[in-house]
Structure 1
Amino acid sequence: MSASRTERLLNLLLALLNTKYGLSRAALREKVYHDDDSNDTAFGRMFERDKTELRSFGFEIETIAEAGLAGEDPATTRYRIGRESNRLPDVHLTPAEGTVLVLAAMLWERSALGGAAASALRKLQASGDLGEVELPAGVQPRIKPAGPSFEAIVNALNARHPVSFGYRAASTGQEERRRVEPWGLGSRFGQWYLVGFDTARGAKRFFRLSRMTSAVQLETKDSYELPAGFDARKELDSLAELPLQEAILEVQEGRLLGLRKRSTPVPEDGPADNERDVLSVPFRDSELFAEELASYGPHVKVVGPEELRTAVVRRLETAEAAITGPAVPVEFPAASGRARKRTSEDQLSRMLQLVPFLVHNQGLPIQEVADRFGISRKELIADLRILICSGLPEGYPDDLFDIDWEDEHVYIHEHLELNRPVRFSEEEASALLTGLATLGSLPAQAGLSGDEQASALESVTVKLAGAAGEAGRVAASFAAPPVEPAEAGFFETVTAAIRDGRQLALRYFSPQRDAVSERDVDPLRLYSQDNIWYFEAYCHSKAAVRNFRLDRVEELAPNGKPVSTPASAETSVPVKLYTPSDDDVVVVLQLSGQGAHLADDYYAERTAELPDGGLLAEVRFGSVDWLPMFIAQHGGAARILEPAGLADASAKWVVAALAQYGR
């Protein structure tokens, strides 16, 4: 990242914002660029690049020509930016509107839209229109992005670039390369879909992200326009769910209780196998069901249909190939976490939020400011040092930013007309507006009645759509999954127990242990990942915090006892699906490029990029007995490197599963 380029762009912006009559290219070259060495052609190219960069942030650069002269003459043309150019309009929110808006912004978990939603919230906080919001204790829906393809498609939609990717069609099972102009991205039937124009077929098509077999590549040399009036929700509503089929499975006796609950016995024609039961299980999508069945390893064998059997064998064979291939050295960089690429554009974008944020939040601790922007203390101080060296061309003391952080609290005394945030980007507007539309199905929260929540959602949506302007139209390209809980009775029971501080008696099925257990728990928070709801609770039998899926709960009721630690708004937002403890096993995974997202899904503590686009990831697991299932399920996307015993166990699991098919 070039600090000098960031400073130059910032100084150019300030100069153009703070001139009434405009500045000539010669004046800018002398006072902003301080350029005496380069020739006119080189300077001209640099100036044009910088103007293009400022326009990409939404600033309209006016050109003022001398009277009687036509065109843009470098010697006489002057430039300026109106002070209202690209400023976010005022958005005044009621407390109820602020609550639902923050809930909507927090829907997006660890994704491009998650970062955009957080950025949009900071802009509202920086304009002084969004104060401290009291979130509902214990309830938080989340939307989980569908792997790396999700991020790439969001980027392509925003930039209007076509994409290409490998795809396995549901109708034929064949894999081929597809080239698509993305129109929209949305979730239906528990799966994410891309809808767009297939250039080879010359028609609109739907593509399920889980069927993409390669990384999504952006075709940056080409562009396209979205169809007028496109609405991803309406398009996805036209999708018909895949028809039900029946899978014939051989299942080891006494195993796979969860699968058995969905099955019916099949009378055997031949001699009975005392160690196997033949079951019929309904399913809709062979690839999705194959992922589950592959995880069961040698405990299940697919008899038919052939498409499902082939999908399971292919997944197991890919897992075996990954396990038996050469292992990479286990070497992590000294710095923990995945390295983030920083550019001068990123830094300038952050500064355009940082200055108005500091104006409206004077005296915050420096670490809190860094945390709010998702950067380190060191990065924040680097930003502040660039700011205090930036200012108007004259360079007098009053022409520079005046920022003080000597006492560990940040104060800004001179903002140079950057006291208001810039407008929402298309990505930011999409994240907030799509999130608000998604919350329409969520039960009323934060002390609001159903009518009050619906009214707040409607009014804040209108306000944000007006503030977003043209950027808001791209929100129609996104359709998030519904967040209403399928297990409404259990949802209400947990919600009431969190509110009233009461313990719950729980009967719960664990597929990893293939067993049902009974527990007494203190419910702490209730949250979702897409349309799957979980609740986090302190489990008295395990003396530890555990997470429970509502769809695996068999019985749930208050046991008449108070909780030992009540839930509060401060703990209402789950940081992780998994709570670490001292008894965890540290596992080193080698992830392929397609499986790199698993590092985020399982909260890797350390990562290292691999030459093939994959990752080395160090992950903590509280229980490791199910890890062979994990390796088989992901079909070559992951392998265990350490501990060696777990690596051997996963290899034996996959080999034993393949042996059933004569492989």
Structure 2
Amino acid sequence: MSASRTERLLNLLIALLNTTYGLRRSELREKVYHDTSGSDTAFGRMFERDKNDLRQFGFDIEAVTDTGWEDDAATTRYRIGKESNRLPDVQFSPGEWAVLLLASQLWERAALGTAAADALRKLQASSTLADVQLPVGVQPRIRPAGQAFDDLVGAMHSQHPVRFDYLAGSTGQEEQRTVEPWGLGSRFGHWYLTGYDRSRRAARHFRLSRFTGPVTVLNKESYAPPTAFNIREALDQLPELPLRTAVVDVREGRLLALRRRACIASEAVQGTPDAGFERLVLSFRDSDALAEELASYGPDAVAIEPRELVAAVRQRLRGAAAFCAAPVPSYRFSDPTRTPTVRKRTSEDQLKRMLQLVPFLVHNQGLHIREVAARFGITPEELEGDLRILICSGLPGGYPDDLLDIHWEEGHVYITEDLDLKKPVRFTVEEACALLTGLETLNGLPGLAEGGALESVTLKLMAAAGEQGLRAGSLSGPAVGPADSAVLETVRNAVRTTSQLRLVYLSAQRDQVSERDVDPLRLYSLDNTWYFEAYCHSAQGLRNFRLDRVQEVRPNGQPASSHMRPEEGFPAKLFTPNDDDTTVLVQLTRQGAGLADDYYAERVAPLPDGGLVAEIRFGSTAWLPMLVAQHGGAARILEPSDLAQTARNWIEAALTRYGG
């Protein structure tokens, strides 16, 4: 969509909103399009495209015909109702705004993160945003399952079937599936797609981690999902995998995190471990998850039973070895720096933003241009470009009183003529799903449901979303409540009172337990794994600690003694770059490309097969061979060469323990 087309669509929208009787195509062609080409066919195609675009932005275009003239296109009049497509006015208390802010920030990445931000801006344009602060120690996040998640959400809401290659858990064979997607949800630590499998002619569940290729959306086909389908109820019927027992040989004195969950094998377990190893017994449910963990331990752990677990670990290690031995592809970093997950903005984005901008300015008169730009996630220069288009837009004829009247004095923006664009457009399906699913997910956080703000804001949002809100049942997030609420509350109180904590902590990367004094700064989560950021007096810097690896924690009676503050911005980062970090060049396959965002890659070079080469900074590199082994052929190290060789040696040593 070119800039001129953006202006044309905006003028068409204003004209259709500000007519009661309706405007004929000939009037629109002359007064809005200023078209003198003489080709009725070409104009007709352009007009139909523009109508479809306005419908996609949420505007219902009504065609009005006089009795006896139903088949005469020349007499058909077009208009847009002023209220039928608008978001109802809704008011929120400060407590409800705090819950809404949490829900809108829940989606760390993916299209739903953008949709949630758009929905929040629409609410800010219909209700004054109270001056609120997020609750101390409550910053949960959901990390969707890569590009497949975005593709499936888009196909689900537009009701198009999808096709993908899938590794069946029952047979271990890769198969192509064509599915009508009904819903996406998280259970047992995994994302699942539920839909109608056309080849099986039945409803099926598909784990996104078993997708072996990209999702293809069949845009020329459509389907009708079941009425009032609810993914949470569907996944409640999914049985949890049975609890099973694994036998693993572990090098003596190593893998403390694994030992915490295991017990020494009894004499009933046959066989004797090799010298320097101990035989342990583990309880597990998901063999894929345990195989991924055991593969990362390389030669320090060997799966003995059951047979399928041994095969899964061996397969993952062989995949990693094969990828490490593959030729290095040609690549080129085109951008000097990289901002993760930010796609190139389009003219469609600009028009959608301007339709949010006018009602936002109406309800927030006098904000500084820098603050407005920050609210919309753009630069002040981009905002001024939007405003220049808006002040040239208006009713046919272009008289001064028929134009949008926006001006800024000393950087403060005011609008005095809005031409009936003062109310935001109703929620899209994605926007309603993003916020309502976020609110449902927050229900598991301790203390948040107290006071009724979560329940009341959900009811208000459902009423405002209308029909679009009913489709929020197609999406369900993971449980985000912490496994140990006592540890969370201890850390949260220390953050609130700026107190110091004495910590006994198990570092899985260093494979050791240490005691340290820390000044906790904030708590946050990634799916159902909780962390807290703190100034560590032993390391003399900011560190992130997993709550489930805290063995003991207590106040030491001292106030927080550092002047450190949390890293700016939301969400908090798991990895804070330092000047002495090592820059590592990592090649990722299409399936592993999401790791570039997980580790905040500074530059990426796309590859023809959908993979990429990423430049990532790491404070410690000793654990990176574990990362390569863990991902079983989805990641490898290219540079530094000695680190790449260390990873290869690690994997080869592990394979030797499995017979080569």
* TM bucket normalised to smaller: over 0.9
| CA–CA distance in structure 2, aligned partners of residues 588 and 86 of structure 1 | 50
| CA–CA distance in structure 1, aligned partners of residues 4 and 629 of structure 2 | 50
| Equivalent residue, structure 2, for 1:218 | 217
Read off the aligned partner of 1:205 and give its amino acid letter. Answer: R
| Equivalent residue, structure 2, for 1:65 | 65
Q: 1:272 to 1:87 in 2, by over 3 A?
A: closer
| Equivalent residue, structure 2, for 1:382 | 385
Q: Helix, strand or coil: the match of 1:412?
A: strand
Stretch of structure 1 that moved more, 52-61 or 498-507: 52-61
Q: Helix, strand or coil: the match of 1:364?
A: coil
Q: 1:379 to 1:611 in 2, by over 3 A?
A: farther
| CA–CA distance in structure 2, aligned partners of residues 379 and 20 of structure 1 | 34
Indicate conservation of the 8 Å contact 1:142/1:529, yes or no.
yes
Q: 1:464 to 1:570 in 2, by over 3 A?
A: farther
Indicate conservation of the 8 Å contact 1:11/1:390, yes or no.
yes
Q: 1:38 to 1:58 in 2, by over 3 A?
A: same
Q: Deviation at 1:12?
A: 0.9
| CA–CA distance in structure 2, aligned partners of residues 100 and 269 of structure 1 | 55
> Given the alignment, which residue of 396, 399, 409 partners 1:396?
399
| Equivalent residue, structure 1, for 2:310 | 309
Q: Helix, strand or coil: the match of 2:142?
A: coil
Q: Deviation at 1:369?
A: 2.5
Q: 1:321 to 1:378 in 2, by over 3 A?
A: farther
| CA–CA distance in structure 2, aligned partners of residues 224 and 421 of structure 1 | 30
**1:470-525 CA deviation, whole Å, 9 max, x = no partner?**
10011111111112211111011111111111111111111111111111001111
| CA–CA distance in structure 1, aligned partners of residues 563 and 588 of structure 2 | 39
| Equivalent residue, structure 1, for 2:420 | 417
Indicate conservation of the 8 Å contact 2:524/2:572, yes or no.
no
| CA–CA distance in structure 1, aligned partners of residues 210 and 111 of structure 2 | 21
Q: Aligned runs of 1:53-202 on 2, under 5 Å?
A: 53-71=53-71, 73-202=72-201
> Given the alignment, which residue of 353, 368, 372 partners 2:356?
353
Read off the aligned partner of 2:77 and give its amino acid letter. Answer: R
Number of matched residues?
656
Indicate conservation of the 8 Å contact 2:522/2:566, yes or no.
no
| Equivalent residue, structure 2, for 1:276 | 277
Q: Deviation at 1:544?
A: 0.7
| Equivalent residue, structure 1, for 2:294 | 293
**1:422-465 CA deviation, whole Å, 9 max, x = no partner?**
111111111111111122221125xxxx540xx21111111110
Read off the aligned partner of 1:548 and give its amino acid letter. Answer: F
Residue 576 of structure 1 pairs with residue 539 of structure 2: no
| Equivalent residue, structure 2, for 1:52 | 52
> Given the alignment, which residue of 613, 629, 633 partners 1:632?
629
Read off the aligned partner of 1:609 and give its amino acid letter. Answer: P
| CA–CA distance in structure 2, aligned partners of residues 427 and 609 of structure 1 | 28
Q: Deviation at 1:380?
A: 2.9
| CA–CA distance in structure 2, aligned partners of residues 418 and 228 of structure 1 | 34
Q: Helix, strand or coil: the match of 1:461?
A: helix
Q: Deviation at 1:565?
A: 5.2
Q: Deviation at 1:106?
A: 1.6
Q: Helix, strand or coil: the match of 1:556?
A: strand
Indicate conservation of the 8 Å contact 2:507/2:513, yes or no.
yes
Residue 436 of structure 1 pairs with residue 435 of structure 2: no
Indicate conservation of the 8 Å contact 2:535/2:564, yes or no.
no
| CA–CA distance in structure 1, aligned partners of residues 353 and 317 of structure 2 | 45
Q: 1:223 to 1:272 in 2, by over 3 A?
A: closer
| CA–CA distance in structure 1, aligned partners of residues 642 and 393 of structure 2 | 57
Q: Deviation at 1:545?
A: 0.7
Residue 486 of structure 1 pairs with residue 489 of structure 2: no
Q: Aligned runs of 1:231-246 on 2, under 5 Å?
A: 231-246=230-245
Indicate conservation of the 8 Å contact 2:581/2:619, yes or no.
yes
Unaligned runs of 5+ in 1: none
Q: Deviation at 1:563?
A: 0.8
Indicate conservation of the 8 Å contact 1:525/1:573, yes or no.
no
Q: 1:380 to 1:612 in 2, by over 3 A?
A: farther
TM-score after normalising by structure 2? 0.95
> Given the alignment, which residue of 462, 482, 494 partners 1:497?
494
Read off the aligned partner of 1:292 and give its amino acid letter. Answer: E
| CA–CA distance in structure 1, aligned partners of residues 495 and 564 of structure 2 | 6
Indicate conservation of the 8 Å contact 1:295/1:629, yes or no.
yes
Indicate conservation of the 8 Å contact 1:139/1:572, yes or no.
no
| CA–CA distance in structure 2, aligned partners of residues 658 and 570 of structure 1 | 41
Indicate conservation of the 8 Å contact 1:87/1:420, yes or no.
yes
**1:223-250 CA deviation, whole Å, 9 max, x = no partner?**
1122112111111111211012222222
Stretch of structure 1 that moved more, 372-381 or 188-197: 372-381
| Equivalent residue, structure 2, for 1:655 | 652
Indicate conservation of the 8 Å contact 1:137/1:571, yes or no.
no
| Equivalent residue, structure 1, for 2:557 | 560
Q: Deviation at 1:404?
A: 3.1
Task: Calculate the aligned-residue CA RMSD, in Å.
Answer: 2.1
Q: Helix, strand or coil: the match of 2:443?
A: helix
Q: Deviation at 1:208?
A: 1.3
Q: Helix, strand or coil: the match of 1:516?
A: strand
| CA–CA distance in structure 2, aligned partners of residues 169 and 6 of structure 1 | 46
Q: Deviation at 1:271?
A: 5.9
Stretch of structure 1 that moved more, 74-83 or 341-350: 341-350
Q: 1:460 to 1:553 in 2, by over 3 A?
A: same
> Given the alignment, which residue of 599, 604, 608 partners 2:596?
599
Q: Aligned runs of 1:583-622 on 2, under 5 Å?
A: 583-622=580-619
| Equivalent residue, structure 2, for 1:16 | 16
Read off the aligned partner of 2:577 and give its amino acid letter. Answer: P
Indicate conservation of the 8 Å contact 1:137/1:567, yes or no.
no
| CA–CA distance in structure 1, aligned partners of residues 244 and 477 of structure 2 | 27
Read off the aligned partner of 1:428 and give its amino acid letter. Answer: E
Indicate conservation of the 8 Å contact 1:627/1:650, yes or no.
yes
Indicate conservation of the 8 Å contact 1:137/1:572, yes or no.
no
Residue 254 of structure 1 pairs with residue 253 of structure 2: yes
Indicate conservation of the 8 Å contact 1:434/1:478, yes or no.
yes
| CA–CA distance in structure 2, aligned partners of residues 129 and 503 of structure 1 | 38
| CA–CA distance in structure 2, aligned partners of residues 370 and 311 of structure 1 | 50
Unaligned runs of 5+ in 2: none
Q: Deviation at 1:43?
A: 0.8
| CA–CA distance in structure 1, aligned partners of residues 588 and 190 of structure 2 | 22
Stretch of structure 1 that moved more, 283-292 or 605-614: 605-614
Read off the aligned partner of 1:510 and give its amino acid letter. Answer: S
Q: Helix, strand or coil: the match of 1:503?
A: strand
Read off the aligned partner of 1:623 and give its amino acid letter. Answer: S
Q: 1:105 to 1:644 in 2, by over 3 A?
A: same
Indicate conservation of the 8 Å contact 2:142/2:527, yes or no.
yes
Indicate conservation of the 8 Å contact 2:524/2:531, yes or no.
yes
Indicate conservation of the 8 Å contact 1:187/1:481, yes or no.
yes
Q: 1:528 to 1:351 in 2, by over 3 A?
A: same
Q: Deviation at 1:399?
A: 2.3
Q: Deviation at 1:329?
A: 4.0
Q: 1:271 to 1:259 in 2, by over 3 A?
A: closer
Q: Deviation at 1:326?
A: 2.3
| CA–CA distance in structure 1, aligned partners of residues 263 and 456 of structure 2 | 50
